[in-house]
Copies of this chain bind each other. A is one copy, B any other.
Amino acid sequence: MTYRLHNFFRSSTSTRLRAALNHKGLAYDYVPYVLRDGETRTPDYLAMNPQGLVPTLERDDGAFMMQSLAIIEWLDETHPEPPLLPADPDGRARVRALAYMIACEIHPLNNLRVLFRLRDQFGADEEAQKDWFTHWVTTTFDALETALASSDRTGTCCHGDTPTLADICLYAQVWNNRRFGIALDSWPTIARIYAGLDKLPAFAAAAPPEQPDAG
């Protein structure tokens, strides 16, 4: 199987999928899109992904996959080593819950189309958008810090000492936070885990500045 990754360097969900592909040792062709220019709203793109969102993973059997977390679960099922979820159900539930704290409570509120909507419906300027963005990061990172710092299952990574789906979401979100200059000082466990992940080649190579379309 070969892969084409339709994505955007700064997109947090694209960063997640790049880290997962790298972690599994899977090569892919990189196909960039400029979100601000509507390049994912064309008929051709919508035929691949009816939401008009990145990323889309195109497979050489003709399938187009959407929704980063669904694709990562599929990668973990079809390419089990190295794993991105623990083997035990309780561990899997913990890792998924940590991942969804970010994927369901921060990212959906802070992506580009939401910031555009705030501008269009409420006249939110850059400062108001930053307040909004920071509010949702802070609300969930406070809870995530508590969840991580209070559990003996937290290791050098979110769950033990090897990266999981939770680390993938954490790493991508910390990169996304830089858009509005949010520092990690209030969240020492998150900061420690992020710093460790950023030393792993699979993660570092997925970071936005490393991509061919980085401005």
**B contact residues around A67 at 8 Å (CB):** 96-97, 100-101, 104
Question: How far is A152 from B93 in the complex, measured between Cα atoms in Å?
Answer: 31
> Which residue of chain B has its CB nearest to the CB of A128?
B121
Flag if A105 contacts B140 (CB, 8 Å): no
One of A107-115, A170-178, A179-187, A191-199 contacting the partner: A107-115
Instruction: Identify the A interface with B (CB < 8 A).
Output: 50-53, 63, 65-67, 69-71, 73-74, 77-78, 89-90, 92-94, 96-97, 99-101, 103-105, 107-109, 114, 117-118, 121-122, 124, 128, 131-132, 135, 140, 143-144, 146-147, 150
Apart from A73-B93, A74-B89, A109-B109: 15 A-B pairs, beta carbons within 8 A: A50-B144, A50-B150, A51-B105, A53-B105, A67-B96, A67-B97, A67-B100, A69-B104, A77-B89, A103-B104, A104-B107, A108-B109, A109-B114, A117-B132, A117-B135
Q: How far is the CB of A147 from chain B (nearest CB, A)?
A: 5
The residue that A108 contacts in the complex, of B94, B105, B118, B146, with Cβ under 8 A, is B105
Tell me the interface secondary structure of chain A in the complex.
helix
Flag if A121 contacts B117 (CB, 8 Å): no
